[in-house]
Structure 1
Amino acid sequence: MLKLHYNLEKISMGLVAAIIVAASIGGIVEIAPLFTIDETVELPDDLRPYTPLELAGREIYIREGCYACHSQMVRSLADELDRYGPYSLASESAYDHPMLWGSKRTGPDLARLGGKYSDDWHVAHLIDPRSVVPASIMPSYPWLTRPLDTDLLSDALATLARLGVPYDEDMIAAAEADALAQSRPDSDAVDGFLERYGERPEARVFDGDPSRLTEMDALVAYLQSLGTLTDAPYRLLAEGSQ
């Protein structure tokens, strides 16, 4: 076997062909199951899509490279379950394009972050991380106080709808208004937002300043949504402990 490998190394094109064959086999093994994913992943009945404001926050999260230091996938290991909560399910990310599971943990996993801290804590943490976590090495994001650009939200929802995310025509048409309404719970438009998205996504002033809609509103809304789109992981964990 070693002699065969040695002889193969002397034939450059043969070595290239062998590498291609080996890589192709590995690729097929990884890709083939994706063609049957609709049959193997059952969506929870209570899974909801991101609201326009949360979706805008997700785009900011990607833009700022947060995924490079934070994963969003709790593995089924005892220490992770103790620290983060129920392990992640593939169905939770069914509406994520792209998915942000990741594996890099310079900072903690965020899959169950929603509701763990207050909005004020998130705002302070993003503007000056060391004001709330003295040992933090996370960079500051003071520019998130600038106004949120909502011009492309309708187009974003329309694109995701073509990929299977359940946004209807009313949601797409009202995307900009709903982003503003979610951060303005006292406005007249909030009734329309709640009618389209239900009571589960909360409407409130995420950045503490009701006078304008900011990128901070969007990012905090997204962070507070993590792990709250469905209760399926918690139900599964409860069933397993019985």
Structure 2
Amino acid sequence: MLRLHYNLEKVSMGLVAGIILAASVGGIVEIAPLFTIDETVELPDDLRPHTPLELAGREIYMREGCYACHSQMVRSLADELDRYGPYSLASESAYDHPMLWGSKRTGPDIARLGEKYSDDWHVAHLINPRSVVPASIMPSYPWLNRPLDTDILSDAMATLARLGVPYDDAMIEAAQADAAAQSRPDSDDVDGFLERYGERPALRAFDGDPDRLTEMDAVVAYLQSLGTLTNAPYEIMTVEATDDP
């Protein structure tokens, strides 16, 4: 085998062909399962898509590079289950484009972060992380208090709808109004928001000021949604705990 490899190294084109073949086999092994993903990953009945405000927060989360330090994938290891909660399911990320599972943990995993802390805690943490976590090395994001640009929300939702996210025409058309309504519980648009998204999404002034719509509203709304889009992981953990001898 070593002699074959040694001889192959003498023929440059043969070596290139061998590299291409090896890379192709590895790629096929990784890609092939994706062609059957519709049959192997069953969507939970209660899985909901992100609201326009949460979706805007997700885009800001990616824009600021938060995914580089925080994974969103709880592994099925005892210590992770004890710290973070139920392990992550592929079906939870069915509506995420791109998915943000990751493996880098400079900061903690946030897959189950939703409603773990108050909105005030998140606002303080984003403005000055060391005000609530003295040992934190996370950067500060004071500029998130600026107004939220909602002009591209409808286009973003229309694109996601083409990728299979269940946004209908009414949701897409009302994206800007719904983003504002979710952070203004006393506004006239709340009834429309509830009609389109139901009562499960949080409805409140996330940055503490209902008179303005900010990037802080969007980011906190997104963070508070993590782990709350479906109850499937918690139900599975309950069944597994019941089945254990």
TM-score, length-normalised on structure 2?
0.98
1:67-106 equivalence runs, <5 A:
67-106=67-106
SS of equivalent residue, structure 1 residue 147: coil
8 Å CA contact 2:51, 2:197 repeated in 1: yes
**2:38 aligned partner:** 38
Query: What's the CA shift for 1:175?
Result: 0.3
Alpha-carbon separation, structure 2, partners of 1:2 and 1:203: 66
The CA deviation at 1:132 is: 0.4
Matched, 1:160 2:160: yes
Specify the SS of the correspondent of 2:149: coil
One-letter code of the match for 2:145? Answer: T
Listed one character per residue, the Cα deviations across residues 27-81 of structure 1 (whole Å, up to 9, x for unaligned) are 0011111111111110000000000000000000000000000000000000100
1:50 aligns with 50
- Distance of 2:134 and 2:230 partners within structure 1: 33
SS in 1 for 2:37: helix
Q: TM-score, normalised by structure 1?
A: 0.99
Aligned to 2:134: 134
* Counterpart position of 2:237: 237
Distance 1:29 1:169 in 2: 38
Structure 1 residue 169: Cα displacement: 0.7
Structure 2: tracts of 5 or more residues without a match? none
Q: Offset of 1:13 from its aligned partner?
A: 1.5
Corresponding residue of 2:66:
66
Matched with 2:21 is: 21
Residues 96-119 of structure 1, C-alpha deviations (whole Å, 9 max, x = no match): 000000000000001000011000
Partner of 1:173: 173
Please give the alpha-carbon distance, in whole angstroms, between the structure 2 residues aligned to 1:137 and 1:7: 52
CA distance in 2, matches of 1:15, 1:126: 52
Runs of 4+ in 1 over 3 A off after TM superposition: none
Size of the aligned set, in residue pairs, is: 242
- The sequence identity of aligned pairs, in percent, is 86
SS at match of 2:233: helix
Q: Could you tell me how far 1:5 is from its partner in structure 2? A: 1.1
- Equivalent in the alignment of 1:125: 125
Unaligned runs of 5+ in 1: none
Q: Which amino acid aligns with 2:100?
A: L
Q: Secondary structure of 1:47's partner?
A: coil
**Distance in 1 (alpha carbons) for counterparts of 2:194 and 2:2:** 68
